[in-house]
Structure 1
Amino acid sequence: MKAEILATGDEIRTGALVDSNSAYIAERLEQIGLEVTRHLTVGDDMDTLVAIFHEIGARAEVCVVTGGLGPTTDDLSAEAAAKAAGVELALDEKALAYIEGLYKLAGRTMSESNRKQAYFPESAERLDNPIGTAPGFSLTIGSCRFFFMPGVPHEMKRMLREQTLPRIEKLRGTEQEVALVKQISTFGSTESQIGEKVADLPQKFPGVKLGLRAKFPEIQVKLYARGNDEAAVKKLLQQAGNDALSRVADFAFSDEGKDMAQVLADLLMMEKATIAVAESCTGGLIGDSITNIAGCSAWFKMSAVCYTNASKNKVLGVSEQTLERHGAVHEETAKEMAAGAREVGDATYAISTTGIAGPAGGSEKKPVGTVCIGIATPAGAEGYRYFFPFRERERNKQVFAMTAMDLLRRRLMGLPPPRYGLVKKKESLRSTGK
């Protein structure tokens, strides 16, 4: 079953707003076996909308449309759909009562303009919006079933899950084609290098499509397969996935769609271990990644952002001698930061970051892109220096944080430290205690 996705609105057409909805919708449609053939964007123009509805209606079986369901004069989706279908708009009393109820619940009076949101094409089926004032609707134009939803992402996602996808599943009827995806997430190599390693997979495994996605600082390898025999599709994808994983094993950290923080969390929970974090140049990015995981309080002890030398000394116990001799960006400093975080946080492990994110502040010996990472374990603490050739501050912060988490991930898995960007490693600083 072929599907298209249409995003409407001048803000999206001109780039003032980024369309994140279409990517989300496409992924969900592919998961239930539809083949998404086009993503389209049009502005708030009646003639253009009517024309594009006719075009899609002649070539697609399903189309999901976002935007244009609000109360203002430039919200044109319902009127344009009615014109394309050759029907009139009609007031949906239940939709109107629901919208009025939302305003009453909020202690506000509904504007007359909001009545517009309760008018749908006469032949349409209403799609309820449980968290907003813009219901959607579904109708057929040509040979295509259209599903209209608001452009607000959190409203769209819930309506897609509860209203649209179940209806599309019914449209598929007895059609049993499945579409499966295998994702391998890598870190530490470039898109071109990873691409070269896996380029021949579609030839080796006919029926498998290959895609590469640069989601900085990750490179994701995606394998796609579809067919009517679900067991056969799964087997094919598993074989291709195992082959791909063996080729990028030095850089792969997940083949289950997990991010680095979740992989690290799983390893810590498996070991019944805990972690503390000390950050300087990354400014709390590692702690933020960790606390995005529900239940992290079971294994996450502490996060300290110590930006100045004074805070590194007072909070983490980094010695004044180390700071005076080596400065803030040095392996010795990173080691002592990690050792201090582990001690203060009473944790099994700790990691630390201190570096030069840029765009200014670098030197010949410590250029922008230099980061020193400390790791503390029950056996002691170590410091590593890495260099990454980025000038942008945000990119450096992201790659520094990722490298620190990857360093501990590898340690927990019994793997050697990452070699990408590695400058040198300082000798271990043995610790006492846990």
Structure 2
Amino acid sequence: MSLNRVAVEIINIGDELLYGNIANTNAQWMSEYLTEAGFRVLRHTVIADEQAAIVQALQEALQRAQVVLMTGGLGPTKDDVTKLALCSYFNTGLQLHPEALAHLEEMFRLRGRSLSELNRQQAALPAGALYLQNEKGTAPGIWMQDAAGRVVVAMPGVPHEMQHLMREKVLPRLLQTFSIEPLLHFHVKTVGIGESQLAEQIAAWEEALPSHIKLAYLPSFGQVKLRLTAKGKAPSQLRQDIKEQLARLLPLIDKYVFGFEQEILEEVVAALLRKSGKTIAVAESCTGGYLAHSFTKIPGSSAYFQGGVVAYSNRAKIELLGVSPQTLETEGAVSEATVLQMANAVRRRFHADIGLATSGIAGPGGATPAKPVGTIWVAYADAEGAKAALYRLGNDRLFNIKVTTALLLDWLRKKLGGRASRFEDFFV
């Protein structure tokens, strides 16, 4: 069965999704994960916790797709009706599954609790179903297959439980069940260049790509991920073809490339800091601690991250960082002079090799004609001195905070040597 014929539909079940109480992150994650593996996602459907609605959605999806993946409705309460819907569609009934029951009993024992009759019912699965043990929670994964070979998988709606089942149980079994056309993805991560500018810079290279290699632009906050997808040849040849294209691409955009594949900017900067042996401290105003979080989210960051100050008010800038009151009066908090003083001061206060600082108008308020929303000053200080840079970003507060952080991390990355890895490292 070729790639174009292995179609998947995703059904996400839950009133909370329809009411807008929570975002449907499961569909996005599942689609990306399945696409990476070579499957073709046809449709997302979100439905209520109603047995008839689930059965109807399942019937319609199986007219279009060979695989239907469902999330939600597997809990112990009365509104969890996914298993009943599966029984209705497959014309079967529920029966207690010994392995599922043993798993539940062990999980409750480890938590110091006894298994209630309500929770015991989570071990009841549709007759004929394959039990997929969920090591991350109590709701099981359920695999069912009809006479035509079409597959239906039900998983819990809790994201980390679903993702665990997809990685460890569902995708490996899908790949055993269906013959997938050889497919290879490779990601190039860039920062500090917009999607349109990046496209212009590599237009000639993109135009010359062979027909079996496609390029996708995947922008996010201050970053653009380039995804190269090769298919239709033997895996070894696809790897070689991707390597050849990367060797042509990187010289065109090298200064914007911070990493590859699953690398994230924060991890790349962390690796460079560890390699350099340098320490860092941050002084933040407009980013409100987000910059510090970008360092401390990485395990082991205490080896290089000394600390930070969120000096949001002018008083805090004066008392905690020694910013000159005269500077704040004449130049303003959002100014080159202010961030330079902040970066130098936080570096001294924490005895760090490097100091970073941010001050700006994240929005939506606080703007003046001279300093509109999105006016951001940042600074970098080390033993050789301090420099500042001005960014003019957008009107969205969260966008401004995240992009400022990404651009300042990129500045630090370049100061520390650029990249921690080579694309060849991913083809060993």
TM over 0.5: yes
Question: What do residues 331-366 of structure 1 show as CA deviations (whole Å, max 9, x unaligned)?
Answer: 111111111122222222221111121211122222
1:231 positional shift: 1.4
Question: What do residues 293-340 of structure 1 show as CA deviations (whole Å, max 9, x unaligned)?
Answer: 111112212212122333323333333443343232211111111111
Larger deviation, residues 188-197 vs 329-338: 188-197
Q: In structure 1, what is the Cα distance between the partners aligned to 2:13 and 2:198? A: 36
Q: In structure 2, what is the Cα distance between the partners aligned to 1:170 and 1:23? A: 24
Question: What do residues 239-286 of structure 1 show as CA deviations (whole Å, max 9, x unaligned)?
Answer: 334444444445433334433222222222232222111111111111
Aligned with 2:263 (options 245, 258, 262): 258
Correspondence for 1:160:
166
Kindly indicate whether the alpha-carbon contact (under 8 Å) linking 1:188 and 1:251 is maintained by their aligned counterparts in 2: yes
Correspondence for 2:422:
none
Aligned with 1:184 (options 181, 188, 199): 188
In structure 2, runs of 5+ residues without a counterpart are 420-428
1:11-410 equivalences in 2 (<5 Å): 11-103=16-108, 105-108=110-113, 110-141=115-146, 142-172=148-178, 175=179, 177-198=181-202, 201=206, 204-249=209-254, 251-388=256-393, 390-410=394-414
1:281 partner SS: coil
Larger deviation, residues 95-104 vs 307-316: 95-104
Question: What do residues 119-154 of structure 1 show as CA deviations (whole Å, max 9, x unaligned)?
Answer: 211110111122322112111023212222101011
Q: In structure 2, what is the Cα distance between the partners aligned to 1:243 and 1:219? A: 18
Larger deviation, residues 56-65 vs 17-26: 56-65
Correspondence for 1:421:
none
Q: In structure 2, what is the Cα distance between the partners aligned to 1:145 and 1:325? A: 69
Kindly indicate whether the alpha-carbon contact (under 8 Å) linking 1:69 and 1:150 is maintained by their aligned counterparts in 2: yes
Amino acid of the structure 2 residue aligned with 1:282: T
Q: Structure 1 352/35 Cα, relative in aligned 2: closer, same or farther at 3 Å?
A: same
Q: In structure 1, what is the Cα distance between the partners aligned to 2:396 and 2:258? A: 25
Q: Structure 1 204/105 Cα, relative in aligned 2: closer, same or farther at 3 Å?
A: closer
Kindly indicate whether the alpha-carbon contact (under 8 Å) linking 2:193 and 2:222 is maintained by their aligned counterparts in 1: no
Correspondence for 1:427:
none
Kindly indicate whether the alpha-carbon contact (under 8 Å) linking 2:7 and 2:64 is maintained by their aligned counterparts in 1: no
Amino acid of the structure 2 residue aligned with 1:315: L
Correspondence for 1:425:
none
Amino acid of the structure 1 residue aligned with 2:221: F
Larger deviation, residues 236-245 vs 210-219: 236-245
Kindly indicate whether the alpha-carbon contact (under 8 Å) linking 1:278 and 1:352 is maintained by their aligned counterparts in 2: yes
Q: In structure 2, what is the Cα distance between the partners aligned to 1:8 and 1:392? A: 31
2:52 partner SS: helix
Give aligned-pair identity as a percent. 37
1:115 positional shift: 3.9
TM-score norm. by structure 2 comes to 0.86
Q: In structure 1, what is the Cα distance between the partners aligned to 2:376 and 2:88? A: 60
Number of equivalences: 412
2:217 partner SS: strand
RMSD between aligned residues: 2.8
Q: Structure 1 179/10 Cα, relative in aligned 2: closer, same or farther at 3 Å?
A: farther
Correspondence for 1:430:
none
In structure 1, runs of 5+ residues without a counterpart are 416-434
Amino acid of the structure 2 residue aligned with 1:239: E
Kindly indicate whether the alpha-carbon contact (under 8 Å) linking 1:338 and 1:381 is maintained by their aligned counterparts in 2: yes
Kindly indicate whether the alpha-carbon contact (under 8 Å) linking 2:156 and 2:162 is maintained by their aligned counterparts in 1: yes
Correspondence for 1:432:
none
Q: Structure 1 339/170 Cα, relative in aligned 2: closer, same or farther at 3 Å?
A: same
Q: Structure 1 277/251 Cα, relative in aligned 2: closer, same or farther at 3 Å?
A: same
Q: In structure 2, what is the Cα distance between the partners aligned to 1:48 and 1:135? A: 21
Q: Structure 1 48/245 Cα, relative in aligned 2: closer, same or farther at 3 Å?
A: farther
1:263 partner SS: helix
Amino acid of the structure 2 residue aligned with 1:191: E
Kindly indicate whether the alpha-carbon contact (under 8 Å) linking 2:39 and 2:180 is maintained by their aligned counterparts in 1: no
TM-score norm. by structure 1 comes to 0.85
Larger deviation, residues 72-81 vs 31-40: 31-40
Q: Structure 1 406/208 Cα, relative in aligned 2: closer, same or farther at 3 Å?
A: same
Q: In structure 2, what is the Cα distance between the partners aligned to 1:402 and 1:15? A: 29
